[in-house]
Amino acid sequence: MDGVKVAISNRQKAVKIPTGIRLLVRRCCSAVLTQEEFQGAAEVSVSFVDNEQIRELNHEFRDKDTATDVLSFPLGENGVYDYNNETGAYMLGDIVISVERAIEQAQMYGHSLRREIGFLTVHSMLHLLGYDHEGDHLEALRMREKEELVLTKLGLQRDMSFVPEEDVDA
């Protein structure tokens, strides 16, 4: 990988973005591209929004009238990406993160906001690179393994004390 330019915009006023989150997002994007052995320079856009904004986008683009945590808008397909002649980089797409939902989920799962935003960024980057977990259990497991590998390398590993009830042996 020749480097990644991550354009980050804060389009919400509900929550102050904590110090270091923008750097974390850049590190996550770079780590995914390194792990996936992406060739060439890349560009990614990341927007922080509130629950209402992500609900509107989810409704408009996915026909789901509900807030979600993250949306991915890839610009490539089958490993072919738009190329920015001005910058010499491949344009991978856009990531939209609901900061409000990220806070809710961090509290629900008992981990830090840094871990949650890191997870959402890594998850979405894998979508930009063509991974899809919808309807394919094996692909979902593959994505989860890749996510955890990147997050562990970044020091954001999952707290193994959290085990969903359905995973506990009776």
The rounded distance, in Å, linking the Cα atoms of 152 and 145 is: 10
- What is the structure's pLDDT at 139? 85
**Residues near 86 by Cβ (< 8 Å), separated by ≥ 6?**
none
- What is the structure's pLDDT at 163? 42
Helix residue ranges per DSSP H, the chain? 21-35, 51-62, 99-109, 113-128, 137-153
First to last CA, the chain: 46
- Residue ranges of the chain whose pLDDT lies below 50: 160-170
The rounded distance, in Å, linking the Cα atoms of 156 and 23 is: 14
Q: Is 6 left (phi over 0), alpha (psi -120 to 50) or beta?
A: beta
- Decide if 52 contacts 96 (C-beta within 8 A): no
Give phi and psi for 5, each to the nearest 5.
Answer: -100, 120
Q: What is the pTM of this model?
A: 0.89
- What is the structure's pLDDT at 159? 61
The rounded distance, in Å, linking the Cα atoms of 61 and 101 is: 19
The rounded distance, in Å, linking the Cα atoms of 33 and 42 is: 9
Domain boundaries along the sequence of the chain:
3-167
The rounded distance, in Å, linking the Cα atoms of 96 and 34 is: 22
- What is the structure's pLDDT at 126? 96
CATH of domain 3-167: 3.40.390.30
